[in-house]
Amino acid sequence: METRMTRAAGRDPQAMLAAATQAYRAGRLDEAIAAARAVLALAPDEVPALHLLGLAAARAGDAQTALDAHGRAAQLQPNEPDFPYRQAMILAREDRLEEALAGFDAALARRPDHAGALLNRAVALHRLARLPEALAGVDRLLAAHPGREQGWALRAQVLEAMGRMDDAIAAQSRATALQPSVAAAQTRLGALLGRARHFEAGLVHLGLALAIAPGDGEALLARGRQLQMQRRHQEALPDLQAALATGHEPQRTRHALADALTALGRWAEAREHLVGVLADIDASLRDGPNTMDLRRKRARLLIDLDRLEEALEELSSLQGEDEAQVLAERGHVLFALAREEEALRCHAQALALKPDAARTRFSASLHRLATGDLPAAWRDHEARWQVPDFPSANRDFPQPLWLGEEDIAGRRVLLHAEQGLGDTLQFCRYAGMVAARGAEVLLEVQPPLVGLLRSLAGPAAVLPHGEKLPPFDLHCPLLSLPLAFETSLATIPGAVPYLAASAARRQEWARRLGPAEGQRIGLVWAGNSLHGNDARRSMPLAAAAPLLALGAEVIGLQHELPERDRATLAAMPALRMLGPQCRDFDDTAALVSLLDVVVTVDTSVAHLAGALGRPVCILLAQPSDWRWLLRREDSPWYPTARLFRQQRRGDWAGVMARLVEHLGWG
């Protein structure tokens, strides 16, 4: 090196380079850059000075200077892998991923086992969604460096993106085993287990992370999020509030807090957090680059705030990567704005670009179902099983799935519940149709429904989920039966009643009710708090006050009493609460069968009353679930139902006014 050095004006380049290095290590980047440039003015081909200039410029955010410096160094030392590697890292940070891949390949051509190049090449492929290549790349890294914790962690991320959750957990477990005393490693494993719905194990590892690093913001946020996934929103609040206090990722944390507060009915506080996140994003967009990711976050926040027109404007202006996802999000907003044809066109365009996007296909199916285009929707509805956070697990039976194609006469077919109790009550009606094709039908349902569903015609046996199943030949989830029978609006099996309350339970409840002195109304104002959309579909008990003023006897069928309504209930002595006394759905069915009408939000009791053929008024939030279709007051699924829809989001007072007018008692 010394032989290539020159001296001028009495200045020592070696001493200048040492001073530049010292400034760089002390974080005085401007001084380091100036000193490196001064060395290069004396010796333009001085590779250590070029290397130092590249490092300092990269840290200072001057990507082009860094790229030029490392590029010149690579020309001078063509066998050194570090210079193309440094260039590739800068390009990757600039989201110039294809160029970065070429740089990583150049480094690996010089040193095939270069750990950094192998790792970050796989990271770039992952970011480009080239998942099979990313997996092959990370496996190449681990073959050369099996003890590399980052490699196993990246393998877990790639496998999760591919939907291979068990393999992802195994990879992250290996990563965590390599660094068991590192909180971040425990957090990654705990969060992954939670996303795979292994909540108990996930919380154990998140607890270990917090034992290692009490107050760690990421672990607190992950544990809060995991509690939210279990709908344990009240328990999640302290973790989320503590995470926010640490300053860790305030946008993500405040959004999570807003979700929890919304689920708890604390809408004003939730909105305050969402508005705060929106303000942060707007500030970032003013002060920095308008990245697509940031603007998509802004659009999603506007959706959460019900500022749909603004969200649509934001999404419509986005161009660039992931056009399919943006189109899908636009479709979601357009549908919420009642622009259904435009929404469906957006979904079609998104799927033309990315046909394997399960979430888009599933969302499109729900929108088609809501419009009444059932035959076109049922096939895409099967994509629900490929959606990573779909609330029901796909039953991986060795027996074949039956979707209506083959003859089932003389064969034993298992029909099994999925999703909620209301879904089971709605779609169990198909069991008789399966039996009519000559099959022996086994119906597996949630335990609270077993007794009631034994009144259903068709099944040879009704079995509780969780117990050992007898042998069977074929199986079908309940919500796949409309596909098997090619159900359209005209062919919905809408005859009711198809369920019946037991005579003994009816007699028992008739004695407990006593003689009727007038009309009897059953009331359910809130659904299961574990339901993901419960904050919207449930109404506050106070909104039901006009119903109690009708002079009828109002029977509370509510089984779970929301905490927010306890004070209101105490001030409503006229409301006769019998729901908590119902031991199971046999009791609820018997009680419903003795009432003149049931008034309920969109819960399992709405389906129960409809299946029993009882008059039922269903109060629907906006937007409502797909099964109630759009802008209808009746339901082809339940002929005795009358639908009362919000005209605008959150307007329960308007719904109640129309209901009271319809009932006309007073």
Sign of CA dihedral 598, 422, 193, 160: negative
Question: For the segment 326-352, what is each residue's pLDDT rounded down to a tens digit?
Answer: 899 889 899 988 899 999 999 999 999
Question: For the segment 156-185, what is each residue's pLDDT rounded down to a tens digit?
Answer: 999 998 888 999 999 999 999 999 999 999
Cβ pair 206, 235 in contact under 8 A: no
Q: What is the pLDDT of residue 2?
A: 37
Q: Answer yes or no: is 252 within a domain.
A: no
Q: Is the per-residue pLDDT at 318 higher than 80?
A: no
Question: Are residues 584 and 442 part of one domain?
Answer: no
Q: What is the pLDDT of residue 635?
A: 97
Question: Are residues 585 and 443 part of one domain?
Answer: no
Question: Are residues 90 and 34 part of one domain?
Answer: yes
For residue 441, the cross-strand partners are: 413
List C-alpha distances in Å: 53 to 19, 421, 464, 526, 560. Answer: 13, 65, 70, 64, 66
Question: For the segment 580-634, what is each residue's pLDDT rounded down to a tens digit?
Answer: 999 999 999 999 999 999 999 999 999 999 999 999 999 999 889 999 999 999 9
pLDDT average, residue stretch 459-479: 96
The pLDDT-based confidence of 5 (bands split at 50, 70, 90) is very low
Average pLDDT, the chain: 89
Choose one of 175, 197, 230: the last residue of a domain.
230
The pLDDT-based confidence of 8 (bands split at 50, 70, 90) is very low
Question: Are residues 632 and 576 part of one domain?
Answer: yes
Sign of CA dihedral 311, 316, 317, 320: positive
Q: What is the pLDDT of residue 94?
A: 82
CATH of residue 561's domain is 3.40.50.2000
Q: What is the pLDDT of residue 495?
A: 96
- The three-class DSSP label of residue 358 is helix
The Cα–Cα gap between 100 and 88 comes to 4
Q: Is the per-residue pLDDT at 119 higher than 90?
A: yes
Question: For the segment 235-286, what is each residue's pLDDT rounded down to a tens digit?
Answer: 999 999 999 999 988 888 988 998 888 777 777 888 888 898 888 888 888 8
Percentage of the chain beyond pLDDT 90 is 58
Question: For the segment 588-598, what is each residue's pLDDT rounded down to a tens digit?
Answer: 999 999 999 99
Looking only at the bridges linking them, the beta strands covering 474-477 and 412-416 are parallel
Question: Are residues 466 and 597 part of one domain?
Answer: no
User: Strands (DSSP E) along 430-519, which ranges?
Assistant: 440-445, 461-464, 474-477
**Interior angle at CA 662, CA 659 and CA 666, nearest 5:** 95
Enumerate residues 6+ apart whose C-beta is below 8 A from 7: 13, 42
Determine the structural domain holding residue 630 and report its residue range. Answer: 503-663
The residue with tokens 């989830």 is 477
The Cα–Cα gap between 172 and 150 comes to 10
Q: What is the pLDDT of residue 400?
A: 96
Question: Are residues 532 and 422 part of one domain?
Answer: no
Q: Answer yes or no: is 621 within a domain.
A: yes
Per-residue tokens: 139: 């496996």
- The three-class DSSP label of residue 221 is helix
Question: Are residues 529 and 485 part of one domain?
Answer: no
The Cα–Cα gap between 538 and 532 comes to 11
Per-residue tokens: 214: 């009490």
Secondary structure letter of residue 541 according to DSSP: G
Dihedral of CA atoms 25, 29, 35, 38 in degrees, nearest 10, equals 140
Q: Is the per-residue pLDDT at 75 higher than 90?
A: no
Q: Answer yes or no: is 284 within a domain.
A: no
Q: Answer yes or no: is 450 within a domain.
A: yes
Q: What is the pLDDT of residue 4?
A: 35
* Residue 322 vs residue 261, higher pLDDT: 261
Q: Answer yes or no: is 358 within a domain.
A: no
Closest CA to 367 of 359, 379, 354, 377: 377
CATH of residue 62's domain is 1.25.40.10
Q: Answer yes or no: is 391 within a domain.
A: no
Question: Are residues 58 and 139 part of one domain?
Answer: yes
Highest mean pLDDT among 21-25, 230-234, 633-637: 633-637
Choose one of 179, 199, 230: the last residue of a domain.
230
For residue 644, the cross-strand partners are: 619
Residue 5 CB-half CA count within 13 A: 14
The Cα–Cα gap between 489 and 263 comes to 34
Q: Is the per-residue pLDDT at 531 higher than 80?
A: no
Enumerate residues 6+ apart whose C-beta is below 8 A from 501: 452, 455, 586, 589, 590, 592, 593, 612
The Cα–Cα gap between 314 and 592 comes to 48
Question: For the segment 354-390, what is each residue's pLDDT rounded down to a tens digit?
Answer: 998 999 999 999 999 999 999 989 999 999 998 877 8
Q: What is the pLDDT of residue 425?
A: 98
Give the helix/strand (H/E) hosting 656.
helix 652-663
Question: Are residues 548 and 444 part of one domain?
Answer: no
Q: Answer yes or no: is 363 within a domain.
A: no
Q: What is the pLDDT of residue 534?
A: 60
Question: Are residues 449 and 563 part of one domain?
Answer: no
The Cα–Cα gap between 216 and 606 comes to 44
Q: Is the per-residue pLDDT at 198 higher than 70?
A: yes
For residue 522, the cross-strand partners are: 555, 598
Enumerate residues 6+ apart whose C-beta is below 8 A from 235: 227
Least confident of 171-180, 309-318, 499-508: 309-318
474-477, strands of its sheet edge to edge = 461-464, 440-445, 412-416, 474-477
Question: For the segment 76-113, what is each residue's pLDDT rounded down to a tens digit?
Answer: 888 888 888 888 888 888 888 888 899 999 999 999 99
Instruction: Look at the chain and report how many structural domains it folds into.
Output: 3
Choose one of 491, 519, 540: the last residue of a domain.
491
Q: What is the pLDDT of residue 282?
A: 85
Question: Are residues 224 and 128 part of one domain?
Answer: yes
- The three-class DSSP label of residue 281 is helix
Angle, helices 82-93 vs 97-110, to 10°: value is 160
Question: Are residues 165 and 88 part of one domain?
Answer: yes
**H helix runs in 247-395, sequence order:** 250-263, 267-287, 292-304, 308-316, 323-336, 340-353, 358-371, 374-381
* Residue 529 vs residue 21, higher pLDDT: 21
The Cα–Cα gap between 342 and 330 comes to 9
User: What are the two backbone dihedrals, phi and then psi, of residue 363, each rounded to the nearest 5 degrees?
Assistant: -60, -40
Q: Is the per-residue pLDDT at 533 higher than 60?
A: no
pLDDT average, residue stretch 114-118: 93
Question: For the segment 538-553, what is each residue's pLDDT rounded down to a tens digit?
Answer: 898 999 999 988 889 9
Q: Answer yes or no: is 169 within a domain.
A: yes
For residue 180, the one-letter residue type is P
